[in-house]
Amino acid sequence: MTFTTPIPHSDIDLFSDEALRDPYPAYRALRDQGAAVRLDALEAWALPRYESARRALGDWETFSASGVVLNETVAEMVVGTVLTTDPPAHTVLRSVLSERLGPRSVRRLAKEISQRADHLVDEVIDKGGFDAVADLATVFPFSVVFDMIGLPDEARPNILRWADATFTVMGPMNARAAEGMGSIAEMFQWLATLGPTDLKDGSMGRAVFDAADEGRIRPESCVPLLAAYAAAGVDTTITAIANAVHLFATHPDEWDRVCSDPGLIPSALNEVLRYDAPVQVFGRRATRDVEIGDGVTIEEGAQVLVLYGSGNRDERHYPDPDRFDVGRNPADHLSFGYGTHACAGQALAKMEAQSIIGALAKRIHRFHIGTPTRHLNNTVRGLESLPVTAVDLHPGPPQL
Ligand code: HEM
């Protein structure tokens, strides 16, 4: 007699408004079902546990990045981008800009970024009340990434909408993704009009065109590379900073720990990123039959969903995962991905977010907040607005 393992499956729609508002109960249910769970509606596999998600990210030969996008229309549009390409082609695309974003290059920006952070925090404090998304979290990554890429100023009013659309169309083609398609077409059309001289001298954008001139990448890779960097560096970091303010406002004891020991800031940021992953899900495509978990086989060609946000709350990996604890230092969280496609901009993102947290910790003792509004996007979990109605400052001169 042969026994076959029953396939765990679920009819949960991870992209419904309800699940996007609070995906964590659904994630827990999926994790409890298994390391890989068949999602009936999407005809795809979810990897909800830390180990299974990390395993897929670490094995590009079995879990190809050609499946990053969860719908075919957009997947075809983004063939050949850094995010959707496997080695060896990926290695070349990534090398064009990763050096500019590596820890050594980013360290050179440290002083300027920290001064800009102090200045911005002084400004919002002077306002009295402010919106932590629009007035604080958005201003900073937007200006840093925009300047680094060296895009012409005419793009400024559109970048945030384009970046938001880029992330939402990477999900399944639901109404939300369909709505984002107009912005994507507009973004690609505009990027296609750019030539090397439109990008500021010495910028990362100019470096992309230089690489094409030198024959390191094909000319048609320029636009997708620019799009990847412009979109990837904005929404994600905005989300991380806004989530940080929200978590510190709602966990005042944890904020006290950060204020009294700024050495905890890197650990606190790791915990912010673990607790609410800015990118909740991206896909992969199985290149062969592969067994995951207890005898469950994901079949060759299957669409796979890597649930970063669920892996980060896996009780099998992080004890008491729903507790926000700034001393936990979960440096192995999945929020920057892992393996070949691990975030190319993480050194910059960390520097930006840590500088803002540091600047806030020097001055603010307590945040008083109104009701936050969630922004619904298929892959990024962020806030639309977070009203900070008042702040209490530390007594005496700013803390060092
Ligand atoms: C807190 C902020 C950020 C988060 C949470 C984040 C998250 C991620 C994640 C999860 C991936 C992996 C995708 C995968 O597994 O397929 C990724 C890749 C990437 N990120 Fe970030 N990111 C952030 C900031 C940035 C910044 C500031 C930049 C650039 C200015 C950037 C550029 C990129 C690029 C180019 C890739 C593609 C890397 C590749 O495919 O090899 N990211 N990011």
The CATH number for 380's domain is 1.10.630.10
SS3 labels along 81-150: CHHHCCCCHHHHHHHHHHHHHCHHHHHCCHHHHHHHHHHHHHHHHHHCCEEHHHHHHCHHHHHHHHHHHC
* 153 domain-assigned: yes
Q: What is the pTM of this model?
A: 0.96
Beta strand pairing call for 44-47 and 303-307: parallel
Residue 2 has pLDDT above 60, yes or no: no
* 342 CA: nearest ligand 1 atom: 12
Over pLDDT 90: what percentage of the chain?
Answer: 76
Residue 308 has pLDDT above 80, yes or no: yes
* 287 domain-assigned: yes
Long-range pairs for 167-170: beta carbons < 8 A, 24 or more residues apart: 167/231, 167/235, 167/279, 167/377, 167/378, 167/379, 167/380, 168/377, 168/378, 168/379, 168/380, 169/69, 169/71, 169/74, 169/378, 170/68, 170/69, 170/70, 170/74, 170/282, 170/283, 170/378, 170/379
* Rounded distance from Cα 360 to ligand 1 centre (Å): 25
**Alpha-carbon distances, residue 138 vs 14, 217, 233, 302 (angstroms):** 26, 32, 11, 37
Residue 159 has pLDDT above 70, yes or no: yes
When pLDDT is averaged across residues 69-85 and rounded to a whole number, the result is 93
Residue 400 has pLDDT above 60, yes or no: no
Question: How high is the pLDDT of residue 293?
Answer: 83
* 179 domain-assigned: yes
Range of the domain at 29: 9-393
Question: How high is the pLDDT of residue 162?
Answer: 93
* Rounded distance from Cα 169 to ligand 1 centre (Å): 16
* Rounded distance from Cα 233 to ligand 1 centre (Å): 7
Nearest C-alpha to atom 2 of ligand 1 is from which residue?
237
* pLDDT band, very low/low/confident/very high, at 102 (cuts 50, 70, 90): confident
When pLDDT is averaged across residues 386-400 and rounded to a whole number, the result is 83
Over pLDDT 70: what percentage of the chain?
Answer: 98
Number of domains composing the chain: 1
* 399 domain-assigned: no
* 285 domain-assigned: yes
Helix (H/G/I), strand (E/B), else coil: 362: helix
Question: How high is the pLDDT of residue 229?
Answer: 82
* 400 domain-assigned: no
pLDDT digit string (tens) for 121-136? Answer: 999 999 989 999 999 9
Average pLDDT, the chain: 93
* 170 domain-assigned: yes
* 384 domain-assigned: yes
Residue 304 has pLDDT above 70, yes or no: yes
More confident call, 205 vs 19: 19
* 84 CA: nearest ligand 1 atom: 40
When pLDDT is averaged across residues 289-308 and rounded to a whole number, the result is 95
